Structure 1
């Protein structure tokens, strides 16, 4: 079973311009597949009490006290819910999952829990019933988000599920609240680690096991910044996974010693392959290049290059990060470098050397902002873009609602300009062949969408200062409808523009008209 590819950007509350925690992730379909997306609200009555995974057939009884939450799932049910990104009325947010990879030593020690179909004929000798797989991308938000009141509780619940049921794929999962962001990485079938993003830092994660420091003393002590499976130290020791050449304090080389308090999980559990250097590390390099621009990124003496294995998991940005930074980065294609597929620098080879962040297969990007300076009922804003990032823009939608606008909710399996997903897909395909001729229109569209969105959120927040919780939810739904209406108008105008421009540039165009026209 193959998970989604994606790019993740996490912004600590002191590092964001709004003073909010922000988690952002692209959801990119697998190669050759395009999964339509939508935005829906899930009421407690709609949440199952007994859950069965479509892909792995694992069955789990769920608590009877779920809360309301809003998610951005697939339209087609063939691969399950795949909630992908969500925020609850308790102001907990999740993005799940980012496909990562662990090395062969880990997989040998703790194999993935994969579905094993039934063999033979029931009642006859040699029959073996089906063995369910573990939980995966399809399941995780549905199993965790409606039942937790904080990011820490989310990590704990997810950890318990992983240890009990296992997982059939290696994944990274983001869980946040208004104060904290936690990033969880699965280690083999049943083990996991989690690290909190420092408040003044951002973290960049491109489909690769990325945590580069783990403190066991904290994980088994105060758990301020680290959590993990209860037996993780013994697991590393038992299966000889530790790779540090430094002996633990108080022991010499050649002397049996306990594991050091700190390890580099990227080295112990992760991979470093040629594919990583094409597909993963260049994306982390480019995001950090943008957020820390004064550092040398391009000269022969640069500390980090697109193929560096030691790019930091997190660091402090030079300036506080805005929604515009996030929108640019999550749709970026190595602008200003020889690796830009739409650029003129470098060579034809270099312009297609690395996998861009914003690619053709992006289904959506959702940046979930959890704010502390507004009424709690209005704290969660989901900045959403559907389709290929370079050709669209994020728009804000409040998460604590009973229903979502039809323009985002009612995405059809077939192509239709009645919804945002398909309209943006059409714009991207038309404009791609005429990048320079359509670029101004697309950039202007983005400016209009984001400016209207910022203004709408500020005006809505101000109007809610003294409102009751029930009134707030109705006001948030009204604001979402206003945003959707403006978004639909601007998106259709952009479609008209790029269609007209590209029609005039068709290879069979001919300027002369007949005399009667």
Structure 2
């Protein structure tokens, strides 16, 4: 699956929330219908079999209830995508990422091998199950974890035991932490805690660019990994990191140096851990010892296709969120095809839900690469893969708010269809059901389904983008404003209610939101249909009236 992810630490967000957001995109030439679902404990399978890999796993633990965004059509697995469980833990899976030949040779992917011959006859070879993948992760992990760290630990153990048939990035969040896990080959993995004051951009490419292996093998303050990662890397000569390739941001990211006494001031007069010369010297020793390294160089890729499909998306997201850096022209520090765009960085201001929606809907606005733009040339406008692409199936933004009661804290903001043409709306996660308008998607195209309504709007509006842009913008702003208002009013209404009664109240708020959403979406469809109909090629100026 092609996707785009942004992660926002609690000190970088506008209200102290942890925020995990991901577009789920269908592969080229496909449009996978999506729907909302709450999986109750009694509906969670006790024996799970993957459709893609034919792997069967027994699930003996007692599951929790959780929300999900599964595929609407049966036949090729659940693909639960994103949700919250009753312990207020969020999970988004997965961002498909890249690898390289050295990694795949050292730890091959665990792919399904079909049976050969006819069972009972000579020469028959039975099928060999494959590993786990995006289809499976949320179902196998989210109902059983009580913190983001537990999510990393559980998924890590599953990967070590069963392996995976693809390279993936997975996000886990709770009210305090966000962790990002990347699979490495068939059975290995690394995970890094998102800095509280930073955001992370992930565009289908292995992203982590600094890893403290000593921390992962020890206190695990900011890093976790497969237990044998160091020896496996050494055996297969995977570490490509040179001591002098790290810069100051890498140095101050390293928990490896956290215990030294401060003895030098920075430009603001605050104390540094120690002198810059000592920092560089210690970092070089750590690199030479294999204690710190760059996973993107070791495990990832810098292919020509990355420069068209992946790196431009990270460039544009960071261009939006740190606009005063040099992004354009000959003086730019980073370009759309740069291989060293940082995995994480501190934003210029605190980031909002609306910022998330904007960057995950982006088509390179304000640049020569905008497919709807008037700048540049026809070639530049088609040079790079947009973030807001026609194949967006759903966008889930998982927000965990620290300033309300725990039973109110989890908000799953949702959008269906192509993001430049849809709106993001909030749903409370602590519920037993989802509104029918969001959960009733079938193969039949119908405006009774929110998913299909969004697909229709996008196809019509795209044909006359500039004429319809104002209608779309007003719709997005109105739905967002109503969403924030409904959250504020519902939070207030739930004060003093017994915790056991809260889910029913939140379900009523979700229904209220869905009713408003349906009315506004139907109205937008009418406006876009009218606007695009005016531009039909069989129009004629002379009227019959």
The partner residue of 1:82 within 79, 84, 91 is 79
* Structure 2 unmatched ranges of 5 or more: 245-279
The partner residue of 1:272 within 269, 277, 302 is 302
Structure 2 equivalent of residue 44 of structure 1? 41
Q: How does 1:173-252 map to 2 (within 5 A)?
A: 173-246=170-243
Contact 2:98–2:167, Cα closer than 8 Å, also in 1: yes
Q: How does 1:375-414 map to 2 (within 5 A)?
A: 375-414=405-444
Structure 2 equivalent of residue 261 of structure 1? 291
Asked whether 1:164 is paired with 2:194, we answer no
Moved more, 133-142 or 74-83: 74-83
> What is the DSSP-based 3-state SS (H/G/I as helix, E as strand, rest coil) of the residue aligned with 1:396?
coil
Asked whether 1:20 is paired with 2:17, we answer yes
Contact 1:86–1:93, Cα closer than 8 Å, also in 2: yes
Structure 2 equivalent of residue 100 of structure 1? 97
Deviations 1:203-233 (A, max 9, x none): 0000000000000111111111100000000
* Structure 1 unmatched ranges of 5 or more: none
Q: How does 1:61-72 map to 2 (within 5 A)?
A: 61-72=58-69
Asked whether 1:135 is paired with 2:135, we answer no
Contact 2:61–2:144, Cα closer than 8 Å, also in 1: no
The partner residue of 1:335 within 365, 370, 385 is 365
Q: CA deviation at 1:125?
A: 3.0
CA distance in 1, matches of 2:425, 2:241: 46
CA distance in 1, matches of 2:213, 2:26: 36
- TM-score relative to the length of structure 2: 0.91
CA distance in 2, matches of 1:225, 1:78: 39
CA distance in 2, matches of 1:199, 1:470: 32
Asked whether 1:323 is paired with 2:353, we answer yes
Q: CA deviation at 1:123?
A: 2.8
Structure 1 equivalent of residue 274 of structure 2? none
Contact 1:174–1:183, Cα closer than 8 Å, also in 2: yes
CA distance in 2, matches of 1:303, 1:78: 47
Structure 2 equivalent of residue 493 of structure 1? 523
Asked whether 1:307 is paired with 2:337, we answer yes
CA distance in 2, matches of 1:207, 1:245: 25
Q: CA deviation at 1:126?
A: 2.3
CA distance in 2, matches of 1:465, 1:265: 47
Asked whether 1:9 is paired with 2:39, we answer no
Contact 1:117–1:131, Cα closer than 8 Å, also in 2: yes
> What is the DSSP-based 3-state SS (H/G/I as helix, E as strand, rest coil) of the residue aligned with 1:123?
coil
Deviations 1:28-87 (A, max 9, x none): 000000000101100000000110001101010113310000001110122200001111
Q: CA deviation at 1:284?
A: 0.3
Moved more, 185-194 or 234-243: 234-243
> What is the DSSP-based 3-state SS (H/G/I as helix, E as strand, rest coil) of the residue aligned with 1:184?
strand
CA distance in 2, matches of 1:64, 1:241: 37
CA distance in 1, matches of 2:53, 2:356: 34
Contact 1:339–1:352, Cα closer than 8 Å, also in 2: yes
> What is the DSSP-based 3-state SS (H/G/I as helix, E as strand, rest coil) of the residue aligned with 1:159?
helix
Structure 1 equivalent of residue 264 of structure 2? none
Contact 1:374–1:465, Cα closer than 8 Å, also in 2: no
CA distance in 1, matches of 2:227, 2:467: 57
> What is the DSSP-based 3-state SS (H/G/I as helix, E as strand, rest coil) of the residue aligned with 1:145?
helix
Structure 2 equivalent of residue 122 of structure 1? 119
Q: CA deviation at 1:502?
A: 0.8
1:120 to 1:86, Cα distance in 2 relative to 1, 3 A:
same
Deviations 1:355-379 (A, max 9, x none): 0100000001110101111111111
> What is the DSSP-based 3-state SS (H/G/I as helix, E as strand, rest coil) of the residue aligned with 2:427?
strand
Contact 2:243–2:288, Cα closer than 8 Å, also in 1: no
Structure 1 equivalent of residue 471 of structure 2? 441
Structure 1 equivalent of residue 253 of structure 2? none
Contact 1:63–1:147, Cα closer than 8 Å, also in 2: no
> What is the DSSP-based 3-state SS (H/G/I as helix, E as strand, rest coil) of the residue aligned with 1:490?
helix
Contact 1:297–1:303, Cα closer than 8 Å, also in 2: yes
1:242 to 1:11, Cα distance in 2 relative to 1, 3 A:
same
Structure 2 equivalent of residue 366 of structure 1? 396
Q: CA deviation at 1:162?
A: 0.1
> What is the DSSP-based 3-state SS (H/G/I as helix, E as strand, rest coil) of the residue aligned with 1:78?
coil
CA distance in 1, matches of 2:213, 2:73: 42
Asked whether 1:469 is paired with 2:499, we answer yes
Deviations 1:103-155 (A, max 9, x none): 00000010000000111222333221110000000000000000000000000
1:250 to 1:17, Cα distance in 2 relative to 1, 3 A:
closer
> What is the DSSP-based 3-state SS (H/G/I as helix, E as strand, rest coil) of the residue aligned with 1:172?
strand
Asked whether 1:294 is paired with 2:291, we answer no
1:250 to 1:439, Cα distance in 2 relative to 1, 3 A:
closer
CA distance in 1, matches of 2:33, 2:239: 42
Contact 1:233–1:259, Cα closer than 8 Å, also in 2: no
Deviations 1:224-273 (A, max 9, x none): 110000000000001111112449x999x9xxx97421100000000000
Deviations 1:155-177 (A, max 9, x none): 00000000000000000001111
Q: CA deviation at 1:393?
A: 1.0
CA distance in 2, matches of 1:445, 1:500: 16
Structure 2 equivalent of residue 153 of structure 1? 150
Structure 2 equivalent of residue 421 of structure 1? 451
CA distance in 1, matches of 2:401, 2:361: 24
CA distance in 1, matches of 2:291, 2:220: 13
CA distance in 2, matches of 1:512, 1:33: 41
Structure 1 equivalent of residue 249 of structure 2? none
Structure 1 equivalent of residue 270 of structure 2? none
CA distance in 2, matches of 1:318, 1:80: 41
